[in-house]
Amino acid sequence: MRTLTLVLALLLSTSQAQAVAGNGTGVVVTGESTLQPQLAAQLEMWLTEHGHPLVSSPLPPEAISTLIDCFVIEDETCARAIVEKRAKADTVIFARIEVSPGTNGMRDVMLVAYWFEKGHEAITDRRFCEHCTDQNLRGAANDLIAALARAGAHGLGRLNLKTTPSNARVLVDGQSVGVTPLSQELKPGPHAIAVELDGYAPQSREVVITSGESTPVDVPLTALQPRRVPVLPISLVAGGALAMVAGGILIAVDEDPSPTGPLYINNTQPGGIALAAVGAVAAGVGIYLWLRDKDSGPTVSASRDAYSVGWFARF
């Protein structure tokens, strides 16, 4: 029996520690029971879409009951103390639904919500939905939670990013978030923005987001220029080199005339010299033209047995 009691005590203390140490945002909805699931789902959807990690069941049932009693006696300090001590989320959205009959058989709905963030004063706001349909209720809920988030101690700001041309991929703090034009809510503070589009030079910016404000950013993209292949210099150098090789061969096979030799000889030296000279001129012109190209230059290499001289170019 003592062992069981000790285990239960350990589990209880662990549960309480987790409740205090948790983070994220939780939603608690009270009031008209038929509308509670719809409102809770709408608030949680908005929070998820805007980057708030959700915490399910942020308060135990008895704490919610105490929280409701605090609002009955209109003691906001009491409510804040419950959140500070018992919530397992850093932020708790407490919403209350009040329904009254409207005209033409329609109902009027009042939404009252509190944004409790640990370490900060509570923020409250409300929205009235007259002749409230499901669609109108969703709109009122979105307006309400957006206003609370903007007013919160860590309310979000909005990045409005455009590029010319559009449809560029956007990375925020290293994470892909979509393509331009882009409207994205971000936490306040500096963010690293990178923009990428095939055929264009990548761009990067550091943008400072301010809570409750929109920050417009327009990024012009510069098209990458295709590299030009120096066809003429290459042709002149290659053709000149071949001509010099051919001229060298003609010089090598030249036959000098002899008084006792045959009547007909292969006197190829003059032609070889001329061909080699033409080749040297052509190669020289090609090298000159190539020198003027910033993407090319001479290269020299050496080993134990040989040396080589050449030219490099980027294509």
**Nearest in space to 65 (alpha carbons), one of 92, 28, 32, 90:** 28
The pLDDT value given to residue 162:
94
**Helix ranges (DSSP H) in 22-116:** 36-49, 61-72, 76-86
Q: Residue 12 CA to chain centroid, in angstroms?
A: 42
The three-class DSSP label of residue 138 is: helix
CATH number corresponding to 18-151: 3.40.50
Note the pLDDT of residue 283: 80
User: At residue 30, does pLDDT exceed 80?
Assistant: yes
In DSSP notation, 51-72 reads T--B-SS-S-HHHHHHHHHHHH
Can you give the pLDDT at residue 253? Answer: 74
Range(s) within the chain of domains with CATH label 2.60.40.1120: 157-220
pLDDT at 103: 76
pLDDT in tens, 137-193: 999 999 999 888 877 655 667 899 999 999 999 999 998 989 999 988 788 889 999
Q: Determine the Cα–Cα distance for residues 141 and 129; give it in Å rounded to an integer.
A: 9
Question: What pTM, to 2 d.p., does this model score?
Answer: 0.47
Mean pLDDT of 261-270: 64
Question: Distance between CA 101 and CA 121 in Å, rounded?
Answer: 34
214-220 β-sheet, strand order = 182-186, 157-164, 214-220
Mean pLDDT computed over 30-44: 93
Class of the domain covering 157-220: mainly beta
Nearest to 40 by CA among 20, 51, 50, 55: 55
Average pLDDT of 50-59?
A: 87
Pick from 26, 21, 10, 148: nearest CA to 85? 21
Q: Where are the CATH 3.40.50 domain residues in the chain?
A: 18-151
Residue with the bigger pLDDT between 238 and 265: it is 238
Dmax over CA atoms of the chain, in Å, equals 136
Residue 96: its pLDDT value, please? 94
Mean of pLDDT values over 93-112: 89
Best CA proximity match to 177, nearest among 201, 155, 190, 158: 158
Q: What is the pLDDT of residue 302?
A: 47
Write down the mean pLDDT value for the chain: 80
Average pLDDT of 275-301? 71
pLDDT score recorded for residue 18: 38
Q: Which residues pair with 25 in a beta bridge?
A: 54, 91
